[in-house]
Amino acid sequence: MKFSRQTTLRSQATVTGVGVHSGRPASLTIGPADINAGFIFVRTGLDGADREVRANAKAVIATELATVLGDGDGALVSTAEHVLAALRGMGVDNAIIEADGPEVPIMDGSAAPFVAAIEQAGIREQSAPRRYIQVLKPVQVAIGDSFGELRPNPRGFRTEIEIDFANPMIGRQRFCCDLDPETFRRDVCRARTFGSMTDVTRLWSLGYALGASFENSIVFDETRMLNTEGLRYTDECVRHKVLDAIGDLALAGLPLLGTYRSVRGGHKLNHAVLTALLDDHKAWRVVEAEPARRQRPQAEAAGGMVGGMIAPAYGPDVS
């Protein structure tokens, strides 16, 4: 990890598509935010004033089919995980995210369109040092046959994700990566959401997934992939689970210094592990990158690690 300051966007960028569950048109605009703002969703298009919610673990009100954020008056925005993954994966710390409907547009089912929007808007440094949540001890959660844990990793954020589906076209897959913008852009962001034809049919009958299609989802039956264009990665399904985990764990409010491992997980498990971490104040602390002026010239010239780069911040408040 290198010395770094907080970042935000240089300008605004907008994407439009449909909501994966409603099938209705949806528009989302990402733009600059102040230092220490984190990610703030602003729901527009409501009767009366716009409503906003800070993207953190306390704002999660549902995790069944997607990560849904809301406030005391109810849900505000669903399927927040893909745009959050793009922001965190590309190294953005502070952003305003305006949504004109109840869902973030599903786009092509991946985070790539949001990465393109971030690159269009541009990223700029801010004057304050970047802050992190450093995992100090392992935190584990089991839900049925699903298991997740966060454990210390002072060098950065790493994911170790394993899936195991009965559908033989998906089966068991595992993917690990150390998160940085280049890795996220190359290895993770293009992985699309996926499911079986029986799942899609069941969700349609319940009034969900009305916007799902072969243009935004990978669909399998028991013997083949039904999309004609094929996979973007041979293990695209598990890479999408990595993408989801990055987005769900962005709800920590700050980048994590830790390793996240999950087996047969999903949004519910991701949120449960993050909540377990944040509820145990002995399991984490807020730290910040030392100012660049404290770099040793020889280390800076070599582009190497500098010992003692991370210094404790002023307390556990990350709100």
The residues annotated with a catalytic role in the active site are 267
Q: Are 227 and 216 in contact (CB under 8 A)?
A: no
DSSP character for 257?
E
Distance CA 284, CA 291 (A): 22
Burial class (CB in 10 A: 0-12, 13-18, 19+), 286: middle
Which phi and psi angles does 187 have, rounded to 5°? Answer: -110, -15
Q: Which residue has the tokens 């584990």?
A: 140
Contact status, residue 287 vs residue 134, Cβ threshold 8 Å: yes
Cβ neighbours of residue 215 closer than 8 Å, sequence gap 6 or more: 108
Q: How far is CA 120 from CA 170, 178, 194, 308, in A?
A: 34, 25, 27, 35
CA distances from 273 to 2, 30, 84, 143, 286 (A): 27, 28, 17, 10, 18
Whether the CA torsion 191, 197, 199, 201 is positive or negative: it is positive
Please give the single-letter amino acid code of residue 306. Answer: V
Q: What angle do CA 273, 279, 283 make, to 5 degrees?
A: 80
